[in-house]
Amino acid sequence: MAKKVEIRALTGFRGVAALIVALYHFSRALGSDRIFSVGPGYIAVDAFFVLSGYVLAYNYASIFSARFSSSDYREFLIKRVCRIYPAYLAILLIAAMKLHLNMGGGEQVALQAWDAFCNIFMLTGWGLHATPIIGVSWSVSAELFCYILFPLIALIAAQGTAILAVIAVGTLAVVVWLSHMGLGVQGPMDIVSPDHSFSLIRALCGFILGVIGYSLSERAGSGRLRMADYLLPVSVVALALSWLWDATDLLSYLIIVLIVWLIAQGSRVGEGLFGNKPVYYLGQISYSLYLIHPLLVSGFTKIAKRLSPSIGLELSVALALCAYLAVAIALAHLSWFVFEKHGQRVMLRILMPGRRAAA
């Protein structure tokens, strides 16, 4: 299963989404001392699901769209697990140690054997009533579920345009339903509870829309570049504005889906905004950054609060935020290099001896 040429701007956009989530959690942890807000930054997580659906369809849809092969399916799943599990396991062990030592302060959380099982096997986002050790791991777990269903989704998306339209409308209807259920923590689409499966449905909707987006790209043919160049900057501005006025999260959600599709069309604007070296690098380490940043939030917000009486709240928060991002990015780079790159290769050699294809 050979991979296609990477769409660098999509990788960069993933990095921007991870950075927004990291900033959002830092802002929320400041509590009443917040001096900045990232709006409904939690919705940037939905960009991960849409991106995953699009990128996996881009690389693998042709394999599963016409037939199902158990050997191809096995190879696909092994590669996906090897891609996400080494860094996940390493950061999970660090988070478990931090929890055991109560380094974050606050009330100690008692974990049961079931919690440990679900955390180790990446099941915390499946609505199995398991307490996640890494707070954001629910989304990684939900993506694993999407990987398992991907061949079926790709096969259905390869059918006629009418069927594709029905699936798209149905998926969007589910998104609207989710946004009106009142299950969100900080906003309508901030559905993250481990005690029900609605967070899993949230992830699956974004993933399906990503696959549909790729299918539409394949059917659209040529002549897409100019439209993307015009619409992408407008969409980015519209997304920023929607975070100020969109109380339902629906407009923001739809714009994120649109932005992913526009970037994937090979837009020069998209390459300039998200495919440049710094943003692309952020995208490369985005998975580790996403998993690592929750381990740092409480420590650096405490530093900001302790410094504020002597140097002022604004300066203390600014300094703590800069230090937080610098440490998070440095640790994410280390995790990306050691676990995502080399750990992935080691795991592939173990599970697929004789194969060296990248996951």
pLDDT at 27: 94
Residue 180 has pLDDT above 60, yes or no: yes
pLDDT at 123: 96
Task: Report the mean per-residue pLDDT for the chain.
Answer: 92
Count of beta carbons in the 10 Å neighbourhood of residue 64: 23
- Please compute the mean of the pLDDT values over residues 342-351 and round it to a whole number: 94
The pTM of this model reads 0.94
pLDDT at 311: 94
Q: Which residues contact 58 (CB under 8 A, 6 or more apart)?
A: 4, 7, 214, 264
Residue 108 has pLDDT above 70, yes or no: no
Q: Decide: 54 and 211 in contact? Cβ < 8 Å.
A: yes
Instruction: Report the alpha-carbon distance of residue 125 to residue 119 in Å, rounded.
Output: 9
- Please compute the mean of the pLDDT values over residues 328-351 and round it to a whole number: 96
Distances in Å between the Cα of 118 and the Cα atoms of 65, 132, 140, 296 are 31, 8, 12, 23
- Please compute the mean of the pLDDT values over residues 154-161 and round it to a whole number: 89
Count of beta carbons in the 10 Å neighbourhood of residue 24: 22
Instruction: Report the alpha-carbon distance of residue 332 to residue 94 in Å, rounded.
Output: 13
Which residue would you say has higher pLDDT here, 59 or 106? 59
Give the tens place of pLDDT for each residue, 8-56: 999 999 999 999 999 999 999 998 667 888 889 999 999 999 999 999 9
113 pLDDT band, cuts 50/70/90, is very high
Which residue from 261, 210, 184, 217 is spatially nearest to 9, judged by alpha carbons?
Answer: 261
266 pLDDT band, cuts 50/70/90, is confident
- Please compute the mean of the pLDDT values over residues 317-324 and round it to a whole number: 96
Distances in Å between the Cα of 25 and the Cα atoms of 34, 45, 253, 294 are 11, 12, 19, 8
